[in-house]
Amino acid sequence: MENINLTPQDIEILNTKIGMRKLLENENIDIDKVLRLTKYEIELATLQEQLIKLQERIIANNEKIVVIFEGRDAAGKGGAIRRITARINPRHFNIVALPKPSEEERGQWYFQRYVNKLPKPGEMVFFDRSWYNRAVVEPVMGFCTIDEYNQFMRQVNAFEKMITDSGITLIKLYFSINKKEQAKRFKEIAASPLKQWKITPVDLKAQELWHVYTKYKKAMFKKTNTKTCPWKIIDANKKTSARIEAIKYILDRTKEE
């Protein structure tokens, strides 16, 4: 802890409850890291308060909000959703992470299973992966035919227009990480007894098929980054800043006019 130049503001941050907790978490104190994480948690708490107010307004006005989280495996989508929903009323939001389609669902209109999960008035729905599985993951992994993929790409913009025309606010977030960061996170997940369950056969092929994913991702953005339903690309190589950026974007897109 020698030769550390702390500003009065830094000292004030370290003297908060969050700062003191961070200082006591580890024997080997890294002041820069403690400051960074303390600032993150203070900002996160402030934004979570704003999310509570947003939800109260949504409930009062019978608004309907859909936020979809897309991105490569290990991009931090689930972690961001957990921070966004940590303080709001669980009775008025749903997190949707659908498994692979059943045989019955395979015979239905592709979007049907997602329509069934859209919000009721006064509700927010967070999709941890969405109908955009068919834009990237499914064609890359061979889970759909080329005809099914092409049909999806023809229909998706019209589907989203129907959603927004019905009064739903649709927010599309894409968490973007680089290949090196994904490999690092896979290694950390595989080494953790508490996280190993997250690794799937699809994940194991993600690095090998990196450039194929990129090809389909670019096609998705080119086709579906519309004026009505734009994509927000979030640099997710640092989880903390990605979470903050995602929340700020949601708050901005749902501001009252």
- Whether residue 235 sits in one domain with residue 134: yes
- Whether residue 216 sits in one domain with residue 143: yes
Residue 215's Cβ-count burial label (10 Å; 0-12, 13-18, 19+) is middle
**Average pLDDT for consecutive 10-residue bins of the chain (257 residues)?**
66 72 65 82 96 98 98 96 98 96 93 97 98 97 96 98 97 98 94 87 90 98 97 97 98 91
| C-alpha distances out from residue 23 to 6, 34, 60, 237, Å | 14, 6, 41, 25
Q: What is the dihedral of CA 132, 138, 144, 147, to 10 degrees?
A: 50
How does strand 231-235 pair with strand 64-71? unpaired
Q: What is the dihedral of CA 78, 83, 85, 87, to 10 degrees?
A: 160
> Which among 61, 76, 103 is the end of a domain?
61
pLDDT of res. 27: 61
DSSP letters for the chain: -TT----HHHHHHHTSHHHHHHHHH-SS--HHHHHHHHHHHHHHHHHHHHHHHHHHHHHHHT-EEEEEEEESTTSSHHHHHHHHHSSS-GGGEEEE---SPPHHHHTS-TTHHHHTTSPPTTEEEEEES-GGGGTTHHHHHTSS-HHHHHHHHHHHHHHHHHHHHTTEEEEEEEEE--HHHHHHHHHHHHH-TTTGGG--HHHHHHTTTHHHHHHHHHHHHHHH--SSS-EEEEE-SSHHHHHHHHHHHHHHHT---
- Whether residue 137 sits in one domain with residue 26: no
Q: Domain range for residue 166?
A: 62-253
- Whether residue 166 sits in one domain with residue 89: yes
Distance of alpha carbon 256 from alpha carbon 247, whole angstroms = 16
Question: Which of 203, 197, 231 is closest to 75 using CA atoms?
Answer: 203
pLDDT of res. 23: 62
- Whether residue 20 sits in one domain with residue 48: yes
pLDDT of res. 201: 82
> Which among 41, 61, 81 is the end of a domain?
61
pLDDT of res. 90: 97
- Whether residue 128 sits in one domain with residue 103: yes
- Whether residue 149 sits in one domain with residue 46: no
pLDDT of res. 1: 44
Query: How many residues are listed for the chain in this entry?
Result: 257
Question: Which of 145, 36, 137, 95 is closest to 44 using CA atoms?
Answer: 36
- Whether residue 4 sits in one domain with residue 98: no
What CATH code is carried by the domain that includes residue 95?
3.40.50.300
Amino acid at 219: A
> Which among 61, 92, 108 is the end of a domain?
61
Please state the domain count of the chain: 2
Structure tokens, 170: 């649709």
- Whether residue 143 sits in one domain with residue 107: yes
- Whether residue 181 sits in one domain with residue 150: yes
- Whether residue 100 sits in one domain with residue 35: no
- Whether residue 17 sits in one domain with residue 81: no
